[in-house]
């Protein structure tokens, strides 16, 4: 067997060193990659209008101060480019305003049922055709289905909402009350004709979290340093979304408290 020449041996050593350096650098880059900054902010929907402590403008100011690269709003992706009348008939004001303000940086993360996927919501759908709304109306009229735990969870939520500020609605107390409320609701409605409500609520939260996670993955894949993403959702969706994003991404994201925004260090 021929021995490698001295020159060939030198080249093998150089290549080995280069390979080691590149591997080490890759590991360092991966370890030192800055996490995506993520803020999940709960809204009051129409109740912002009558709340001077947490108005629409308060919400918008917090999001502007965060300076997001992407804004996830509670509108379905397939509806983001539809007309103003259509959006007004189906989505809260703050979601429509944020979609308008942020334009190409706004992304729809909502989901409203398998029967509506990929198509427009028909006129009169919520009043005349939605099975979920029908079940909600029927359940509201039933006095024979009740739970002290459900009532207690809802009252905890309402106590926070009645005096809500941006900070107090997003400090974790409402999220804890929401987790307890939906656990109790699931137990109350099990083995009743209203159990599809719990299934729908859980699936909607799961779909919202999946859509939100995809936005974060896109930014991680691009390795965009200093990327900031805000997700704007109704208060009842915040707990599940926080849990899902924390569980999937861990130290790849940094969850920014709402109370921190706009404050000087």
Q: What angle do CA 256, 258, 263 make, to 5 degrees?
A: 95
Q: Predicted confidence band at 260 (pLDDT cuts at 50, 70, 90)?
A: low
Share of the chain above pLDDT 90, in %: 82
Give the model's pLDDT for residue 29.
43
Asked if 208 and 233 count as a contact pair (C-beta separation under 8 A), the reply is yes
Taking residues 81-101, report their average pLDDT.
97
The two structure tokens encoding residue 219 = 């930014």
The secondary structure of 178-200 as a DSSP string is: HHHHHHHHHHHHTTSTTHHHHHH
Give the separation between CA 137 and CA 117, rounded to whole angstroms: 23
Give the model's pLDDT for residue 182.
97
137-154 per-position pLDDT tens digit? 999 999 999 999 999 999
Asked if 215 and 229 count as a contact pair (C-beta separation under 8 A), the reply is yes
Phi, then psi, of 207 in degrees rounded to 5: -70, -40
Taking residues 90-118, report their average pLDDT.
97
Taking residues 193-201, report their average pLDDT.
97
The two structure tokens encoding residue 149 = 């735990």
pTM beyond 0.75: the answer is yes
Asked if 178 and 236 count as a contact pair (C-beta separation under 8 A), the reply is yes
Taking residues 60-77, report their average pLDDT.
97
204-247 per-position pLDDT tens digit? 999 999 999 999 999 999 887 789 999 999 999 999 999 999 99
Give the model's pLDDT for residue 222.
86
4 has pLDDT over 80: no
21-67 per-position pLDDT tens digit? 444 444 434 445 689 999 999 999 999 999 999 999 999 999 999 99
Give the model's pLDDT for residue 85.
97
């Amino acid at each position: 067997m021929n021995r490698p020449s001295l020159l060939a041996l030198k080249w093998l050593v150089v290549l080995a060193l280069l390979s080691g350096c590149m591997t080490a650098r890759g590991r360092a880059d991966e370890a030192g990659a800055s996490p995506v900054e993520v803020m999940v902010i709960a809204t009051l929907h129409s109740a912002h209008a009558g709340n001077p402590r947490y108005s629409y403008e308060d919400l918008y100011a917090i999001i502007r101060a965060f300076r997001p690269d992407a804004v996830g709003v509670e509108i379905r992706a397939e509806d983001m480019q539809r007309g103003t009348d259509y959006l007004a008939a189906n989505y809260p004001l703050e979601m429509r305003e944020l979609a308008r303000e942020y334009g190409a940086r706004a992304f729809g993360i909502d989901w409203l049922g398998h029967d509506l996927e990929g198509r427009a919501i028909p006129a009169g759908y919520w009043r005349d055709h939605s099975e979920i709304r029908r079940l909600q109306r029927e359940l509201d009229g039933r006095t024979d289905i009740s739970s002290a735990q459900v009532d207690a969870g809802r009252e905890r939520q309402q106590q926070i909402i009645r005096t809500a500020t941006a900070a107090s609605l997003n400090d974790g107390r409402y999220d804890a009350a929401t987790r307890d409320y939906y656990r109790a609701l699931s137990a109350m409605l099990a083995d009743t004709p209203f159990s599809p409500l719990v299934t729908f609520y859980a699936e909607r939260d799961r779909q919202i979290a999946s859509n939100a996670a995809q936005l974060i993955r896109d930014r991680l894949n691009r390795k965009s340093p200093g990327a900031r993403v805000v997700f704007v959702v109704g208060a009842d969706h915040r707990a599940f979304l926080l849990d899902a994003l924390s569980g999937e991404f861990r130290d790849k994201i940094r969850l920014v408290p709402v109370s921190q925004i706009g404050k000087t260090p």
